[in-house]
A and B are shown apart, each in its own frame.
Chain A
């Protein structure tokens, strides 16, 4: 049905992640298999310590699975070398963290231009305009020349999203992006995500804030490293 309109973007097959701990090994993820389709806004929910961040890190290639395979748009992410990963990630995944990870000595505009610089996307002249356009999209263009410290938390998070979108990646992931924001600001961020999903991006957000569940088309709920349920809400 509607499912068939969306091609599977992300496929995890029997992914486990084990950490060595004092008492042996700890399974942060235990035989997870899941599929995420493109152009959707997907939530990953679960209690603290359930393995949400681990799952997200494995999707973005920040972490490698202990066993199992990760395929994103046909690319076997777990097989890429560190260098290949860096450039693949730069072009294909935008990452937003809970804390505002802007580089403090670069202006807002420069922060957004940095991924283009690293991945050598667009011509040098275009970069500035692209970055400004992104800042306009997240409603923060007026602050382009300022340094991150001059911005509020919500504003910084918007810049982080603009930066994550710099190379126009098909996939955007955010790990508790609103954890540090008041609920009003958080709402505007989720609205932004919904908009992005509508415009064709796949957006995966880790959150445990129930009140925003309405925004999500898919919700992957995990507990103790295992996927509890993958609920799809069809609009």
Chain B
């Protein structure tokens, strides 16, 4: 090897521990990028592959009545329609550990010939016989059962029965059952009939043959089919057109992962700046060697290439270490998220572009960060490099002068302060690095705290604890008194609800609902005005105030950008348009798109005057445990009164379901915070120790004029702590801005409403401890080292 590169390698290996820190500083960033991008690439590919493997329907037409097989055959020959299938979905209930939970029954026409919304067989039987069902794999846990077990279920019109789990399937188009806290069962029409329901297929699933990703085209085709059905006397309920080719969670996942991508590049950038400063410091330390090399014929260009080569070696080692580790982390990351989204990873290969991006960014970003100091450092003239004149001409800036005049501090501390401010550009860099690290650390924790706080709003907005949806509307009086009499029940209100949509120019109700009925749905909630069981966050206009009026309040998911207070809006009720006047907008946490109206008006339209379709009940003790006990008591009361329930949803369950949706996000944010903390501490320790080492000579002078090692130590330690504390203050201010914007972003993708800005005291506490302890140790060790050096050696140190 050429001697000049030999020198680079030896310089690197001779100061092992420090250079390992440099490698680490870059490796962490490259690692972060690789883990996130690797996970991202696999997830988005597999999510798409999984979703497409189910052959999702382009549209679902929900009708009133039954789709006969002859009708279905005609639809199959309809121009522009590739495939058609009929289905039915019923929400029933299942008993798990003596408690009722919702279960979605998907009624399949022909298990042998499924062409749309398919699922993958995992084990057991492929075709369930009467009295058995196939269960989605993630639902087994919610059902507390395994293959072969019998589950007690009940459909809205049927009696309590048992169904055996005949087989297990994987349906990637469904969110994991434990996220929705519901069971998923696939049954035949015969089984549905046996459960006590009407045997009819009311869902027509179609797949268009052209432009399968164009929403407009799909809607138009679906409308054509609907027209055609209508001509044959079939009433159309609604048309569901979910985002074509997109998994229900796709846009959320992409948004979240892109934040993480930005985060990981920030980490690399900070690491690179750290390395660049170390490299610049090294060049200052080696200025005499640079002078010598120039004297014996080295040009500025040759010398700069040596230091760039040094950077390159650091980067390459960092990349070599971090690529395999990041692949492992990416594996962990995508398996976790795949589990969360119920995806099956069939191809776990990380595309080549990921290591390529890691290599490119792991080299380019540090090189760019270092370019200016390295080039400037190697352009130093021989004369200047060999000169001693530079040492005494260090500029004293205004800050230092000011600080040396003030008598606020003890002498030692004043000197520490002056040292802190002496090298202004170094200070700015150190502070910038630490503050950015701290800001990101605090932001990560703030946002996850804000997320938690927002989740708690589920409880503050909902003053009820249990929602019970009834099979049939009823006159409330008799039941109310019985339920209200239950110990611990504080309030019961009678509400009503209906699935709806906003009618625009279309003849039909067109929703974006996915087949799992949750994602993308829109509903009307009719409530007694005034209600005592809802405390909505009204962001514009006002809350419902007049019973019997046609006023409507929409939540943020129901609102579209063109709506303003005072506008009229057409909402579909039972497929028919009804006109409402918008008086307010709310921000709800954990609700789908909802329009709130007065139950008096609603009942008039629905022809159900005096009756209620849903009960909302509040308990004095809102804990999950109590809630579970109370709901069982209420179930018994309803049972005794022969009141049939279609769904019973406790608020805690809603809270947990929403929490489960974003758990990955919060955990990944915490992981980012951890990486940030590592880079931050590295930055702190290395800059402080460099600060100290650079002043070895000066320390020697101080020792020579009588400073004790103790004085010098406390001088250095106070200097480190001052830098640390300053950085914390800056980080805190910056983190508030960061947290606000992150909160807006994450809140919008998850709830369509910004998260409230939250400041996590724990984040501040951890960072303060980390930085002060870090600054203490980062300065105490080099301080001790310089104190060991004798005065004579220190003075000779160059």
Contact = CB atoms under 8 A, between A and B. Distances in A.
Contact of A86 (B10, B11, B299): B299
A102 B302 CA distance: 18
Contacts of A106: 3, 6-7, 10
A62 B10 CA distance: 28
Interface in B12-26: 14
Main secondary structure of the interface of A (DSSP, over half): helix
Nearest to A64: B383
Contacts of B2: 117
Nearest to A164: B296
A87 B383 CA distance: 16
A57 B381 CA distance: 12
B279 to A, nearest CB: 16
Contacts of B298: 86, 90, 114, 118
Nearest to B15: A105
A87 B297 contact: yes
A86 B292 contact: no
Interface in B72-110: none
Given A62-B382, A117-B2, A103 B297 contact: no
A62 B383 contact: yes
A90 B3 contact: no
How many A residues touch the partner, as a band?
Answer: 20 to 34
A110 B3 contact: yes
Interface string A94-118: 1101000101111000110111011
B293 interface: yes
A114 B3 CA distance: 6
B624 interface: no
B7 A118 contact: no
Contact of B297 (A97, A111, A115): A115
Given A86-B299, A91-B297, A106-B10, A117 B4 contact: yes
Contacts of B643: none
Contacts of A94: 296
Contacts of A91: 297
A95 B10 contact: no
A115 B294 CA distance: 9
Interface in A109-149: 110-111, 113-115, 117-119
A82 interface: yes
A206 B779 CA distance: 44
Contacts of B11: 105
A191 B413 CA distance: 57
Interface string B290-314: 0011111111111000000000000
Contact of A105 (B10, B288, B293, B299): B10
B656 to A, nearest CB: 61
Given A62-B295, A103-B289, A105-B10, A83 B4 contact: no
A95 B288 CA distance: 14
B302 A118 contact: yes
B300 A103 contact: no
A209 interface: no
B14 A57 contact: no
A82 B300 contact: yes
A39 interface: no
A114 B296 contact: yes
Residue in B3, B11, B301 whose Cβ sees the most chain A Cβ within 10 Å: B3
A52 interface: no
B297 A86 contact: yes
A90 B296 contact: yes
A167 interface: yes
Given A105-B14, A118-B302, A95 B295 contact: yes
B290 to A, nearest CB: 10
Nearest to B299: A86
Contacts of A115: 296-297
B7 A110 contact: yes
Contact of B6 (A87, A110, A166, A167): A110
Contacts of B288: 101
Contacts of B294: 86
A40 interface: no
A173 B295 CA distance: 11
B4 A114 contact: yes
Given A90-B296, A110-B3, A118-B297, 19 more contacts: A82-B379, A86-B298, A86-B299, A86-B300, A87-B299, A89-B295, A95-B296, A97-B292, A97-B386, A101-B288, A103-B289, A111-B3, A114-B7, A114-B296, A115-B296, A115-B297, A118-B296, A166-B296, A167-B297
23 contacts: A60-B295, A62-B382, A62-B383, A82-B300, A86-B294, A86-B297, A87-B299, A89-B296, A90-B298, A95-B296, A101-B292, A103-B289, A103-B293, A106-B3, A114-B3, A114-B4, A114-B7, A114-B293, A117-B2, A118-B4, A118-B299, A166-B296, A167-B297
Interface of A: 57, 60, 62-63, 82-83, 86-87, 89-91, 94-95, 97, 101, 103-106, 110-111, 113-115, 117-119, 163-164, 166-167
Interface of B: 2-4, 6-7, 10-11, 14, 288-289, 292-302, 379, 381-383, 386
Q: Considering the complex of A and B, which 10 residue pairs feature the smallest CB-CB distances, nearest first?
A: A90-B297, A105-B10, A118-B297, A110-B3, A115-B296, A86-B299, A118-B298, A119-B297, A114-B3, A101-B292
